[in-house]
Amino acid sequence: MAQTSDIYGNTRLAPGDMERLAARVVTSGDRSSIGVETPITESEIGSVPACTAADVATAVDRARGAQPEWAATPVESRVAVLERFGDLVFDHRDDLLDTVQLETGKVRQDALEELLDIPSTCSYYGSNGPTELADSERSGLIPLATTATVSYDPVGVVGVISPWNYPLTLSFTDAIPALLAGNAVVCKPDERTPFVALALAELLEEAGLPEGVFQVVTGEGAVAGPALIDAVDYVVFTGGTETGRTVAERAGRNLIDCSLELGGKNPMVVLDDADVGTAARGAVTGAFTNAGQLCLAPERIYVDEDRYDDFLDAFVGATRELSLGHSFSYGPDVGSLISADHLESVRESVDSAVEAGASLFSGGRARPDVGPCFYEPTILTDVAPDSRIICEETFGPVVSVVPVSDADEAVERANDTAYGLNGSVWTGDLDRGRDIARRIDCGTVCLNDPYAVGWAAVDAPMGGIGDSGLGRRHGPEGINRFVESKTIATSRIGPFDSPPWLPHGVAARLLSGFGAVQRRLTRWLR
């Protein structure tokens, strides 16, 4: 690994900023450190402690100590803290964008996309969270004589294990509703991208979050991850499907709940009545945003055979115009991949597809002349339905285009996968598009947009089915997972039993008669 680079010269940051952030991580002794490289030059930008399992347990204990007072804070005050946090994230955007870009190598507009998600999530849950958390009155068995009230208590301490591809959004988009619900949160970011989570922890404190309620632990996933799952009351995980399975297994053994957003092999369906230019533009945005390292990105495009040639021409033409590069200002279209290892995995997927007979219409090459981890936006055709490039997540700037005879074949191919995260349908007829969308087995299907319209609808749940995960983030579902419901049922007529003087046979007949009347009444009222 090269030594700390002069790459800081192009940013508003200095190596001292990373030292200050790393010092936020509390350990109970001297720990070895993990060097963090920027993929832009593969030089070190700082280091963080390799927390042990004991350090993680201590962080959770601290969070557990701070949580009751936070939970007892009126919900309006919790909202005020989180809305202030959203404002601070926006106000500090220049430094935060530099930090995200340094850690990930992504282009500035991709970093901005994730940053803007935070104020919008704070604002959504600030407006809607209190209603979700308020007590609700439910029907008792006998109107007026009995009642049931449901209240919602925070689960306690929530663990968030986040990945490297959207380190800002994916460390906080779940933490915000968890905190609003009165929980404490301990976040373990990916070891490649720890600094932006630490920078946002600083802003949470500035916004007025009491000490200890939000903490970051750093270190290797295989050490810190299991330790976190063993100590918390709920775990949110975003990452690869195989790691997700181990997280779910461990959570299951501990009898805690979890939500998992995992991989995808997202289909894009272009119908015969689609506007080809719009669909091609959407394919470029969808497949190559964040250099394709986006769990929602389309990796398979099924195009009606009548539009296939026109679509491919337009898509290839627009893709060839994309610029690769790095700048801490707005400029290049496509940034770096996260690491040389990941570049190798993307290159290997494309090379083996080509060896198996796929045709390359664009890209297909690493670009060491631009930077050590850059790969060209790549379009493949002539791919077999059971090939690796069609079945396995590539997680890079690589997409396959496949002609289909009609909408039915498109749906069949789209659903021929173990994943089910996000899909899109492209059509001039939105009613028809919605009908097709209902037949696609994904947690979210977007019409005439590859993913952003679904993600940005913060009021609507988002998550996957099958190998793409469990549970949902966003919307009421996104906050309700962080509370335990408690029912307080009241009888105004004493205990639910028959008077001692009434023979059991008579009581049974009365109870059965009452049950029949009640069922009829319920149906009649429906």
Catalytic residues: 261, 295
C-beta of 407: minimal distance to ligand NDP in Å? 28
Output 57 or 71, the one with its CB closest to ligand NDP. Answer: 57
CB 219 within 8 A of CB 191: yes
The secondary structure element, H or E, covering residue 266 is: strand 266-270
Asked whether position 263 contacts ligand NDP by CB under 6 A, the answer is: yes
Alpha-carbon gap, residue 430 to 26, rounded angstroms: 53
**Cα–Cα separations (whole angstroms), residue 471 to 70, 238, 416, 462, 483:** 25, 11, 22, 8, 14
Alpha-carbon gap, residue 265 to 132, rounded angstroms: 33
C-beta of 194: minimal distance to ligand NDP in Å? 8
Which residues, at least 6 apart from 480, have a Cβ–Cβ distance to it below 8 Å? 132, 152
Alpha-carbon gap, residue 334 to 327, rounded angstroms: 11
Which residues in the 362-421 window bind ligand NDP by CB under 6 A? 393, 395
Output 118 or 280, the one with its CB closest to ligand NDP. Answer: 118
Which residues in the 446-475 window bind ligand NDP by CB under 6 A? none
What is the CA 412 to chain-centroid distance, rounded? 27
Asked whether position 262 contacts ligand NDP by CB under 6 A, the answer is: yes
- Pick from 208, 226, 325, 461: which binds ligand NDP (CB under 6 A)? 226
Alpha-carbon gap, residue 65 to 51, rounded angstroms: 20
C-beta of 223: minimal distance to ligand NDP in Å? 8
Output 154 or 225, the one with its CB closest to ligand NDP. Answer: 225
Alpha-carbon gap, residue 123 to 129, rounded angstroms: 10
C-beta of 338: minimal distance to ligand NDP in Å? 8
Asked whether position 225 contacts ligand NDP by CB under 6 A, the answer is: yes
Asked whether position 336 contacts ligand NDP by CB under 6 A, the answer is: no
Nearest CA to 381 out of 403, 355, 414, 352 is that of 403
- Pick from 261, 304, 333, 467: which binds ligand NDP (CB under 6 A)? 261
- With CB under 6 A as the contact rule, which of the stretches 258-266, 277-285, 446-454, 504-512 interacts with ligand NDP? 258-266
C-beta of 451: minimal distance to ligand NDP in Å? 12
Q: Give the chain's end-to-end CA distance (angstroms, integer).
A: 68
Output 262 or 411, the one with its CB closest to ligand NDP. Answer: 262
Output 162 or 183, the one with its CB closest to ligand NDP. Answer: 162
Asked whether position 35 contacts ligand NDP by CB under 6 A, the answer is: no
- Pick from 14, 54, 145, 222: which binds ligand NDP (CB under 6 A)? 222
CB 44 within 8 A of CB 37: yes
Output 210 or 226, the one with its CB closest to ligand NDP. Answer: 226
394 Ramachandran zone, left/alpha/beta (phi>0; psi -120 to 50)? alpha
Asked whether position 165 contacts ligand NDP by CB under 6 A, the answer is: yes
Output 239 or 397, the one with its CB closest to ligand NDP. Answer: 239
Q: How many chain residues bind ligand NDP (CB under 6 A)?
A: 25
HEC readout, 400-452: EEEEECCHHHHHHHHCCCCCCCEEEEECCCHHHHHHHHHHCCCCEEEECCCCH
Around 284, how many Cα atoms within 13 Å sit in the side-chain half-sphere? 22
Task: Return the C-alpha torsion angle 58, 64, 66, 70, nearest 10.
Answer: 150
- With CB under 6 A as the contact rule, which of the stretches 160-168, 209-217, 423-431, 444-452 interacts with ligand NDP? 160-168
CB 94 within 8 A of CB 10: no
AA letter at 181: A
C-beta of 12: minimal distance to ligand NDP in Å? 26
Output 201 or 312, the one with its CB closest to ligand NDP. Answer: 201
- Pick from 46, 126, 212, 221: which binds ligand NDP (CB under 6 A)? 221
C-beta of 243: minimal distance to ligand NDP in Å? 3
Beta-strand relationship, 483-491 and 146-154: antiparallel
Give phi and psi for 150, each to the nearest 5. -110, 130
C-beta of 189: minimal distance to ligand NDP in Å? 6
- With CB under 6 A as the contact rule, which of the stretches 215-223, 307-315, 431-439, 485-493 interacts with ligand NDP? 215-223
- Pick from 103, 110, 191, 233: which binds ligand NDP (CB under 6 A)? 191
Nearest CA to 301 out of 389, 366, 363, 364 is that of 389
Give phi and psi for 486, each to the nearest 5. -130, 125
Which residues in the 227-256 window bind ligand NDP by CB under 6 A? 238-240, 243, 246-247
Asked whether position 110 contacts ligand NDP by CB under 6 A, the answer is: no
Residues within the interface to ligand NDP (CB under 6 A):
161-165, 188, 190-191, 220-222, 225-226, 238-240, 243, 246-247, 261-263, 295, 393, 395
